[in-house]
Structure 1
Amino acid sequence: MSESNQPPLDDVAKREQMSGDFLDLCDDFIKFSEECAFLFDAFAAVTREPECITEDTIEGIRHINFWLKYQVIDYREKIDRQRKYWTSLSRKQKG
């Protein structure tokens, strides 16, 4: 590639930062999905023994569902921000 076709150094640094941020997001999401798998197994176990469903259990499930909902929203927003930023860098490089 000739020097005139290479992106400016600040764009290279931005892409490297973006790549690092993306890898961090992937790692975080893997941990989150493992937590979800554990929670889903726990929910399934509770439904197999309805006699163990107390008010405390119900409140715990409500709390976890609230947490899950906002974790998913947060991941969706992070992914969307990264997608938009990556798209703007790609357009800037093209031209």
Structure 2
Amino acid sequence: MSESTTYDEEVSIKQLSSDCIRLCDDFNKFSEECAFLCDAFAAVAREPDDISEDTSEGIGHLSCWLKEQARGYCYRDRQAP
């Protein structure tokens, strides 16, 4: 194996490692937001009369954000080489 191939492999491994860490971080944030949203839905189910307009808007905003994140993961997977 030539030095150039070894260097290219090292660069490729570092790039894959970096991509993996970034994906894990993104998924961790996504997971935390999902857990938060589930807690919010559970609270609304317990006390539906106590939900404020701000809470409702927050849940709607977070729902849209999660949907976009899920869509982004789907497209990211399809674009991978």
| TM-score range normalised by the length of the shorter chain | 0.7 to 0.9
Q: TM-score w.r.t. structure 2 length? A: 0.72
Report the residue type matching 2:70 in the other structure.
V
Gaps of 5+ in 1: 86-95
Runs (4+) of structure 1 exceeding 4 A deviation are: none
The residue that corresponds to 1:30 in the other structure is 28
Residue in structure 1 matching 2:41, options 40, 43, 67:
43
Across the two proteins, how many residue pairs are aligned to each other? 80
Give unpaired runs (5+ residues) of structure 2. none
Q: Report the equivalent of 1:66.
A: 64
Aligned equivalent of 1:57 = 55
Q: Are 2:44 and 2:51, in contact at CA under 8 Å, matched by a contact in 1? A: yes
Identity of aligned residues (%): 51
Which protein is bigger by CA-based radius of gyration?
1
Higher relative contact order (CA 8 A, sep 6+): 1
Task: Let me know the Cα RMSD of the aligned residues.
Answer: 2.5
